[in-house]
């Protein structure tokens, strides 16, 4: 039987506040942990998918993961339980990798650089997606906001912890579209458009996202809302395919709220920023998840 897990340790979802798609073409990104959605170790019925993950790690990761102990524990009912939805771009597989790394890594993570740790976590997450930047599991493992650096155009951007002002999350919320989506075709659509019209997309989307990140870090709320509104309007006008049609009429909340993509789009969660929370609830309902 596995050792009792630390009772307070959980592995949060991640929310990409700004930089969706554009981080693949040199823009900045800002992602944060979201502890209201998380996973934690429990005991229960054997999880076949987790057993497959353990077998995968036994083949190729014995130098960094105690995969034999992991497999032993899984066979005896160690599993992860929580409320992170899959297919929503909230880092569910990243949280799994963070939990496994935290419990079964052979060497102390504090001795590793952020870049090295992300590379190792990316290798783990490849089991779920075929490829990974390592960003999602890194956010879940560190439980800290990450600034994704601009400049790279091959998806291999830098990532490092960043401090945000107190009360940075005021007004931010998630709204559930109720639609699972597959990210790959949406990413391909964006990249094809960007490669045809890079100047327009930089001006209309990438640069406002960079401004929003700067405004959030300096607690310039008027500039933050203005930049978010610019992103929102550009996404609806130029990338409606990334927004479920039922949400088009609700997208622009004027001086009450603005909606934007949260991740690849197409469904899952959408991200909102509200100036008037009461008016936002009247327009969108009471089931909003406030950050």
Q: Is the pTM of this model over 0.85?
A: yes
Strands (E), 58-181: 78-82, 146-148, 159-161, 172-176
Identical fold for domains 11-161 and 172-290, yes or no, is no
With residue 38 as reference, give the H or E element that holds it: strand 29-43
State which fold the 172-290 domain adopts: Alpha-Beta Plaits (3.30.70)
| pLDDT score of 275 | 97
Q: Closest Cα to residue 182, out of 264, 271, 270?
A: 264
Cα–Cα distance, 167 to 212 (Å, whole number): 16
What residues pair up with 39 in beta bridges, in sequence order?
11, 82
Ordered per-residue pLDDT tens for the chain, 291 residues: 455 544 569 999 999 999 999 888 889 999 999 999 999 999 999 999 999 999 999 998 888 999 999 999 999 999 999 999 988 889 999 999 999 999 999 976 666 788 889 899 989 998 987 767 788 999 999 999 999 976 544 445 577 899 999 999 999 999 999 998 888 889 899 999 999 999 999 999 999 999 999 999 999 999 999 999 999 999 999 999 999 999 999 999 999 999 999 988 899 999 999 999 999 999 999 899 999
Residue spans per domain, the chain: 11-161, 172-290
Separation of CA 211 from chain center: 20
Indicate the class that CATH gives domain 11-161: alpha beta
């Amino acid at each position: 039987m596995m050792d009792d897990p630390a009772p307070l340790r959980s592995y949060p979802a991640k929310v990409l506040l700004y930089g969706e798609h554009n981080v693949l073409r040199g823009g900045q990104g800002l992602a944060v942990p979201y502890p209201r959605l998380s996973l934690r170790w429990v005991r229960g019925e054997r999880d076949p998918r987790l057993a497959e993950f353990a077998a995968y790690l036994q083949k190729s990761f014995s130098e960094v993961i105690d995969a034999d102990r992991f497999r032993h524990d899984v066979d005896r009912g160690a599993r992860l339980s929580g409320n992170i939805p899959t297919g929503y771009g909230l880092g569910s597989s990243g949280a799994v990798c963070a939990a496994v790394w935290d419990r079964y890594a052979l060497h102390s993570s504090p001795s590793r650089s952020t870049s090295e740790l992300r590379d190792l976590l990316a290798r783990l997450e490849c089991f779920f997606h075929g490829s990974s930047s390592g960003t999602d599991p890194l956010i879940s493992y560190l439980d800290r906001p990450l600034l994704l650096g601009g400049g790279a155009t091959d998806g291999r951007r830098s990532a490092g912890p960043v401090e945000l002002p107190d009360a940075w999350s005021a007004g931010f919320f998630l709204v559930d579209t109720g639609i699972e989506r597959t990210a790959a075709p949406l990413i391909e659509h964006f990249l094809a458009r960007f490669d045809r019209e890079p100047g327009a997309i930089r001006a209309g989307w990438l640069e406002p996202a960079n401004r929003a990140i700067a405004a959030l870090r300096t607690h310039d709320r008027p500039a933050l809302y203005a930049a978010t509104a610019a992103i929102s309007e550009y996404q609806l006008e130029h990338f409606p395919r990334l927004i479920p049609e039922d949400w088009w009429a609700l997208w622009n909340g004027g001086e009450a709220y603005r909606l934007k993509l949260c991740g690849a789009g197409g469904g899952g969660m959408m991200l909102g920023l509200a100036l008037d929370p009461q008016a936002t609830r009247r327009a969108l309902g009471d089931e909003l998840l406030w950050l």
